[in-house]
Structure 1
Amino acid sequence: MKSIWENYKTEVAYDELMHSEFQPRPVSHRLCQYLNSLNKDDIDKRKVAAELAIMEMGISFTVYSDEGNIDRAWPFDIIPRIIAAKEWRMIEQGLKQRLTALNHFISDVYSEQAFIKDGKMPGDIINSSKNFRKECVGIKPRHNVWANICGTDLVRDKDGIMYVLEDNLRVPSGVSYMLENRVITKRVFPELMQDIDVLPIDDYPTQLYDMLVSIAPLKNGRPRIVVLTPGIYNSAYFEHAYLAQQMGVQLVEGSDLVVEKDDCVYMRTIEGLEKIDVIYRRIDDDFLDPEVFRKDSTLGVRGLMRAWKAGNVALANAPGAGVADDKVVYAYVPEMIRYYLNEEPILPNVPTYLCSDKDQLEYVLEHLAELVAKPANESGGYGMIVGPHATPKEIADFRDIIKKDPRNYIAQPTLAISTAPTLCEDRLEPRHIDLRPFILQGEDTFVTAGGLTRVALKKGSLVVNSSQGGGSKDTWIINGEDG
């Protein structure tokens, strides 16, 4: 029987499952052994089962293009990514540490700005930030937490070390796909899931709900919570609807809510107005309240900022949290951890060059062909350049772009980010991956057991975003003797 592992090459990157050719890592030994026992028909049946499950469950994402918005089935690879529980415990502590420091920083930015006054960061970085909201100065959300939901992107380099690539603190998405990936995997490999002790993730909606309850304005009784979506044309609408359904709360659009003269938020219902206590908003700051931000926004709720400032409604994430969701600010997170927590960072940053610094800019322009350069506030892999994969003309053009707005760009070494076996037709091939765990912070802090593993499905590509051809895998944190 032809092995599914035939001709599998681990190449130069760290491979998450294979230590070397035909040598599984201890944590993945049982999975590799199991996969090797399957023939082509077995693999095909499981692949088809996954595709059917995705269709039945209606799991999709929206791609924006010149031809219009296209709904696509979620691209899923059936071979899971595995991490040992022992390693994960360290990562989990690092993620909690990081979000705690970031929330201290955001709170500081909108109050004393001690971090800046003590010379830890140039004030111009905040003054020039497109996500700094002067309207938030002096506000103190409950528990002093601004970013209640964070999706932190992790990558592993060839040295085996897990690095933080970026923090997503505005409206991070992807957690529904993490949850659905597990449901699909249970259908595809039911016998394997029973045989290996994989830590569960299905408590996330409960943890999310409990966190939202914990930030509600103080009152008696159960708070009324809603998920605020921009609507069906948003690329993450599936997730908005999924999370609302899983938590048992209403999914609403801006037109469903109104702020009355008492500066409280109400939901329109057939029985009249119903007071809302907590809004899990999936709308960017700019569109949240036409009274304060973009006047032409039809997605938000007029007067919402007034209600929030009055303490009559909680917003997750808080407006203004995006000031720390900036790749320039990212470079200062290790120093934030030392400054606010008096601790050394558990998880390292990727070395980062700030183009706003004259000397670092000179180095970036000179070595752009070797670096990854990206804008400070874009997401989805847009607006960036991977130097080793770019043409001389693309590099020259990008130099000009950086020179026009150096504050808006950073650069990092091109990491040989780790790979994982991915099903390509009837064989396994290595594909580059990252990992987005989700961290919740309110009264307590919670980290998902693993996260969304995203896969660059194109051979050799480092871009894992689904909008640019990426897919995903289930992520297994293995407990017990394997982990």
Structure 2
Amino acid sequence: MSTDAGTDLTDIFEDYSAAGYYCEMLGNGGAPARHTEGLRRQLSELGIAELRRRAAMAERELYNLGITFTLYSNGSTIDRILPFDVIPRVLSKDDWDIINRGVRQRVAAINLFLHDIYHEQKIFKNGIIPAGLVLGNSNYRPEMQGVDLPRGTYVQICGIDIVRDEAGNFLVLEDNARTPSGVSYVVENRHLMLRAFPDLMAGMRVRPVSNYGVRLLDAMAEVAPAGVSDPQVALLSPGVFNSAYFEHVFLAREMGVPLVSGEDLFVDDDDRVFMRTTVGPAPVHVIYRRINDDFLDPEAFRKDSMLGVPGLVRAVRRGTVTLANAIGTGVADDKAVYAYMPRIIRYYLDEDAILQNVPTHICGEKEGLDHTLAHMADLVVKPVGEAGGYGVVVCPHSTAAEIEACRKQVLADPANYISQPMINLSVSPTLVGSGIEPRHVDLRPFAITGDSTWVLPGGLTRVALPKGSLIVNSSQGGGSKDTWVLD
């Protein structure tokens, strides 16, 4: 293999083959992708031995900095680093333009959809989406009905999971509109690359990601309650035992705001939120919450919650505090609602979706159930309310017994499942024990919405590290890569 300039790259890519998948480094067969030519040349100059040495150095740094997540398995709790691959995933300027426009369009439609279902519900009256799909959803919160939010923004922080198929097309796999996680790894991965590979990044015009915290704080200020000119922002965390606690600490530090738990806040008789400090109560106007709806307010939701703040829903309804993201945004997370997103975009924006969905069959509908049962061996079956890859059955990679067990689960509760064709996710060269091999990847860009929507250039590239696996989630053994957007 060689570049157009004739540079010999066989020393590092000699045994690499994408095996028919779209490759993020080499493209879709034929001539290698031009936008990665400089990176491939520099990787070749470094060689495998040096890559391994620096990868070990980066892994030690992850441990030393405490950049971990908590994995809960079989009743045990394990703190582990998110495996980091040192060969970056590179997006061309044109690729990023499609992703950036598509994510912004999708976030705009999601916010219009959420405002509508919690107000006039025109989308039901016009027959675009079944009312029961939303009103019967466990994430729909009647407490938010008729509540007006600043800027009409329900989802201030959104993560859109995107995959690329074998033809090189970008497809949306999932919307994350509740409390999307992982952005801390985007920023820390870049810091690791800058420290471990300063020579690799020299001369490469890679768009920065270090301004995420500043952008996030600005957006939080823009959605503060009316009349508040200098809002106090706080990040509400469930505490040190949460799997994403590292990220909570990271984001509070990046924004320069206090990290609080439920016991640090209280709501007074005038439905205003205050923070307990060493010099007395201090008002809080915007809360970036990393606690699920159920645990936010024991007055409104789970009575046994020790994580939330009694009276918080009263404050939201009164308009004295803004929650990011708003209560009830989980409806837009739902995998059955996801199937209607192209129609939702068309309805509210009068535009075709820039980023198309993966074709989805809703098992709660007869046609979708019949198709799923008839073609189950060829499909990926997902529970609509789960996250983190839990409950997903990749039937083409499953045993007959596993497929039969999945069939029984779907029949027992069809409304809880969707199915999709198995997408041959793109691959990216990854440093493994035997050398450089292809591993499947996805991408989670993060969008911040205040007065307008800004998308962090790149996002979290997750890697399915087990050979042949399509499950990229960290809870299922996945890792991550630095994602470069070329300017």
SS in 1 for 2:353: coil
Matches within 5 A, 1:49-88: 49-88=57-96
Q: Please state whether the residue corresponding to 1:80 is helix, strand or coil.
A: strand
1:344 counterpart SS class: coil
Which whole-Å CA distance do the structure 2 matches of 1:245 and 1:96 have between them?
26
Pairing partner for 2:124 from 116, 138, 158: 116
User: How far did residue 400 of structure 1 move?
Assistant: 1.0
222, 225, 241: which is aligned to 1:217? 225
1:317 is aligned to: 325
Distance 2:220 2:361 in 1: 37
Partner AA of 1:50 in structure 2 = A
Identity of matched residues, %: 49
The C-alpha deviation readout for 1:160-186, integer Å capped at 9, x for no partner, is 100000100011000001110000011
Partner letter of residue 187 of structure 2? L
Which amino acid is 1:436 matched to?
R
Select which of 136, 161, 182 maps to 2:144.
136
Q: Is 1:468 matched with 2:476? A: yes
User: 2:359 — aligned with what?
Assistant: 351
Q: How does 1:361-400 map to 2 (within 5 A)?
A: 361-400=369-408
Compared CA separation, residues 31 and 2, structure 1 to 2 (3 A): closer
**Paired AA for residue 271 in structure 1:** V
Give the Cα separation in 1 of the matches to 2:174 and 2:286: 27
Q: Counterpart amino acid of 2:215?
A: Q
Structure 1 residue 23, shift from structure 2 partner: 5.0
What's the counterpart of residue 125 of structure 1? 133
Which residue number in structure 1 is paired with residue 203 of structure 2? Answer: 195
Secondary structure of the corresponding residue to residue 250 of structure 2:
helix
Q: How many angstroms does 1:51 deviate by? A: 1.2
Counterpart residue type for residue 373 of structure 2: L
What secondary structure is seen at the aligned counterpart in 1 of 2:375? helix
Aligned equivalents of 1:54, 1:426: Cα separation in 2: 23
The 8 Å contact of residues 152 and 437 in structure 1, kept in 2 or not, is answered as yes
1:462 and 1:124 map into 2 onto residues whose CA distance is 32
Q: Which residue of 1 aligns with 2:292?
A: 284
Whichever residue aligns with residue 69 of structure 2, its letter is F
Q: Indicate the residue corresponding to 1:454 in structure 2.
A: 462
Q: Does 1:433 align with 2:441?
A: yes
Contact 1:9/1:21, CA 8 A, preserved across alignment: no
Any idea what SS the aligned residue of 2:442 has? strand
CA distance in 1, matches of 2:154, 2:226: 17
**Contact 1:17–1:421 under 8 Å retained in 2:** yes
Q: Show the 5 A alignment for 1:202-351.
A: 202-351=210-359
Q: Within 2, Cα distance between the matches of 1:247 and 1:32?
A: 36
1:202 Cα deviation (Å)? Answer: 0.9
Structure 2's unaligned 5+ residue stretches are 1-8
Letter in 1 for 2:37: H
Q: CA deviation at 1:236?
A: 0.4
Answering whether residue 40 of structure 2 is matched by residue 32 of structure 1, we say yes
Confirm or deny: 8 A CA contact 2:141 2:328 kept in the other structure.
yes
Could you tell me which residue of structure 2 aligns to residue 402 of structure 1? 410
User: 2:317 and 2:441 mapped to 1: Cα distance?
Assistant: 41
Number of residue pairs the alignment of both structures matches: 479
Whichever residue aligns with residue 267 of structure 1, its letter is M
Q: Quick one: which of 134, 146, 149 aligns to 2:157?
A: 149
Deviation at 1:221, TM superposition (A): 3.9
Between the aligned partners of 2:341 and 2:228, the Cα distance in structure 1 is 38
4+ residue runs of structure 1 moved beyond 6 angstroms?
none
Whether the 8 Å CA contact 1:6–1:427 is kept in 2: the answer is: no
Partners of 1:17 and 1:405 lie apart in 2 by: 42
CA offset at residue 56 of structure 1?
A: 2.7
Indicate the residue corresponding to 1:176 in structure 2.
184
Give the AA of the match of 1:377.
Answer: G
Query: What per-residue deviation string (whole Å, max 9, x for no partner) do you get for residues 65-84 of structure 1?
Result: 12421110221000000010
SS in 2 for 1:38: helix
Q: What residue number does 2:425 align with?
A: 417
Partner SS state of residue 167, structure 1: strand
1:443 matched to 2:451: yes
Indicate the SS of the match to 1:474. Answer: strand
Q: Which residue of 1 aligns with 2:166?
A: 158
Query: What 5-or-longer segments of structure 1 have no aligned partner?
Result: none
Which deviates the most, 34-43 or 9-18? 34-43
**1:79 match: secondary structure:** strand
1:48 to 2:56 alignment: yes
Q: How far did 1:25 drift?
A: 1.1
Q: Secondary structure at the match of 2:382?
A: strand
Q: Give the superposition deviation at 1:103.
A: 0.7
CA distance in 1, matches of 2:400, 2:149: 49
Cα distance in 2 for residues equivalent to 1:121 and 1:19 = 38
Partner SS state of residue 146, structure 1: coil
Q: 1:22 to 1:196 in 2, by over 3 A?
A: farther
Aligned to 2:4: none
Question: Aligned partners of 2:42, 2:86: CA distance in 1, in Å?
Answer: 13
Q: CA deviation at 1:443?
A: 1.2
SS at match of 2:410: helix
What TM-score results when the alignment is normalised by the length of structure 1?
Answer: 0.97
Equivalent AA in structure 1 for residue 135 of structure 2? N
> In the TM superposition, what is the alpha-carbon distance from 1:41 to its structure 2 partner?
3.0
Deviation at 1:304, TM superposition (A): 0.3
Deviates more, 1:427-436 or 1:124-133: 124-133
Q: Which amino acid aligns with 1:363?
A: H
Task: Supply the distance in 2 between the matched residues of 1:155 and 1:32 (Cα, whole angstroms).
Answer: 23
Contact residue 455 and residue 472 of structure 1 kept, 8 A = yes
Give per-residue Cα distances to partners, 1:143-200, cap 9 Å, x unaligned: 0011111000000000110000010001100000111000001112101212110011
> Does structure 2 conserve the Cα–Cα contact (< 8 Å) formed by 1:259 and 1:265?
yes
- The alignment's TM-score, normalised by the length of structure 2, stands at 0.96
